[in-house]
Structure 1
Amino acid sequence: MALKADTRYSGRAQTQTQTAEMDAGLRKYMLGVYNYMASGLLVSAVVAMLASSSPAVMQTIFGSGLAYVVMFAPLGLLLAMNFAFNKISTPVLQGMYWAFVALFGLSLSTIFLVYTSADIVRVFFITAAAFGGLSLYGYTTKKNLSGMGSFLIMGLIGIIIAMVVNMFLESTMMSFVISVLGVLIFAGLTAFDTQRIKSTYIQHRMQGDVATRSAVMDAVALYLNFVNMFMFLLHLFGGGNE
């Protein structure tokens, strides 16, 4: 009986140790993801502010065909990062990430011409608070959010189509509806992606170089959720430069 008791105790102790190690690894991984994301937002903000403060830079870029390069270059880098993920080295992937957020920041520089700095800062903190709450929910909830992933992606596709259509219609009401739906969709994606990132780590227990590479791509997903939610909220609550 004593032997059985010792065996059960040993088994519980081993399980508790493994659980503690997994929790520590998960926290470290999630912290890495959030650090990449936050650093990316900082780089984008600095690039946007520096570019918007220089009329010569704004005229050179957005007064010429370079505007299209700035608009579509981040998308090209994002596709390259996804398709070449298993073929490129970790430093190259990291370099592509920093180039991605810098170019994205350049494309965001025009918001300083449309909205006041006070509006931008206010909406940024609103977005940060909302993102933090939604990400925390996605991390802690026991509810499986995977079912709403396909629904949210379909909604995102619908939003993109509606935005293209409204470029021709220029409907103020349609623009408002798109912004409201955009906030809701990226709010849902924030919780969904956080849970997906957590679940993926628990399933694969990535370590070393693999963990670093995965953290970069997971940071991209959260970065895009944050920036898009920020832009839609800015459209709703930003008063504009008058």
Structure 2
Amino acid sequence: MNQNTAILQSAQSSQSVTHKVLRNTYALLSLTVLFSAGVAIFSMVNNLAHPGLLVTLVGYFGLLFLTVKTRNSGWGLVSVFALTGFMGYTLGPLLGSYWAGAPAVVGQALLATGAIFAGLSAYVLTTRKNFSFLGSALFVGILVAFLAGLGAMLFDIPALSLAVSAMFVLLMSGLILYETSNILHGGETNYIMATVSLYVAIFNLFTSLLQLLGFMQSE
């Protein structure tokens, strides 16, 4: 009886930790998305220049590294907002270019991103399906897509850029499934890192849809 009680208490404790991580992750994710959106709008309205590819990469990976290093302290929260604010700043000029020529595309991409995130998250939380098997494939796929995206920008290949955007829509959808499942099944217990993963998925999903929808409207 004592052994059964201990097992039950352990299961309840594990479930409590999972619920806490989920709750904290979605709360922080909501705040970072709103903060990032505010910075993006500020950047767009004030016509701030894009920092350029090199600064963007250094800023992103530098702040990501800082967030990983400080994830278990209060400074981790500061790092998360610095990272998402910086990404919002880089998004502003892109939004400005679409808003000037095709403002409806921005709304469509935003609605599609929200619907995809909500739908995939609800699916995992409802079915409790484990998507940990996607981990290796997602890592390789994101690396390939990232390198292909750099090639498309450096060599100015629009067709490759569109193909990369389509790849990222699929990969980021997979990342949402994977990370939500990872939290649910106890694979991710740090809500700061869970927030970063989901934010990056949402950010890349939105920008990829923005490019694809913008291309379709221009045809």
State the TM-score bracket (shorter-chain normalisation): 0.7 to 0.9
Aligned to 1:91: 74
- Structure 2 unaligned segments of length 5 or more: list them: none
CA contact (8 A) 1:138 1:191 kept: yes
Aligned to 2:30: 38
1:75: Cα distance to partner?
A: 1.9
Aligned to 2:210: 234
The structure-2 alpha-carbon separation of the partners of 1:131 and 1:177, relative to structure 1 and needing over 3 Å to count, comes to same
Structure 2 counterpart of 1:178, from 154, 164, 170: 164
Taking structure 2 as the reference length, the TM-score comes to: 0.84
CA contact (8 A) 1:138 1:190 kept: no
**1:216 and 2:192 correspond:** yes
1:167: Cα distance to partner?
A: 2.2
**1:166 and 2:152 correspond:** yes
Map residues 19-30 of structure 1 onto 2, 5 A cutoff. 19=11, 22-30=14-22
Task: Name the SS of the counterpart of 1:164 in structure 2.
Answer: helix
How many equivalent residue pairs?
213
Deviations 1:1-28 (A, max 9, x none): xxxxxx59x957983x765555444333
Taking the aligned partners of 2:82 and 2:154, their CA distance within structure 1 comes to: 32
CA contact (8 A) 1:48 1:109 kept: yes
CA contact (8 A) 1:183 1:229 kept: yes
Structure with bigger RCO (C-alpha 8 Å, 6+ apart): 1
Taking structure 1 as the reference length, the TM-score comes to: 0.76
Work out which of the two has the higher radius of gyration on C-alpha atoms and give 1 or 2. Answer: 1
CA contact (8 A) 1:47 1:102 kept: yes
- Structure 1 unaligned segments of length 5 or more: list them: 1-6, 207-213
Structure 1 counterpart of 2:45, from 50, 53, 78: 53
CA contact (8 A) 1:162 1:178 kept: yes
Taking the aligned partners of 1:13 and 1:78, their CA distance within structure 2 comes to: 39
Taking the aligned partners of 1:223 and 1:163, their CA distance within structure 2 comes to: 19
Deviations 1:18-69 (A, max 9, x none): 65555444333202101111111111110010121113xx1xx44xxx5443
Taking the aligned partners of 1:70 and 1:181, their CA distance within structure 2 comes to: 21
Structure 2 counterpart of 1:100, from 53, 74, 83: 83
Percent identity of paired positions between Structure 1 and Structure 2: 25
CA contact (8 A) 2:130 2:182 kept: no
Aligned to 1:133: 119
Deviations 1:207-240 (A, max 9, x none): xxxxxxx211110010001111111111111367
Taking the aligned partners of 1:157 and 1:20, their CA distance within structure 2 comes to: 38
Taking the aligned partners of 1:92 and 1:229, their CA distance within structure 2 comes to: 27
Moved more, 222-231 or 158-167: 158-167
1:142: Cα distance to partner?
A: 4.9
The structure-2 alpha-carbon separation of the partners of 1:84 and 1:36, relative to structure 1 and needing over 3 Å to count, comes to closer
Task: Name the SS of the counterpart of 2:130 in structure 1.
Answer: coil
Structure 2 counterpart of 1:120, from 106, 109, 121: 106
Superposed CA RMSD in Å reads 2.8
Q: Which amino acid aligns with 2:122?
A: L
The structure-2 alpha-carbon separation of the partners of 1:45 and 1:191, relative to structure 1 and needing over 3 Å to count, comes to same
Taking the aligned partners of 2:152 and 2:56, their CA distance within structure 1 comes to: 22
Task: Name the SS of the counterpart of 1:238 in structure 2.
Answer: helix
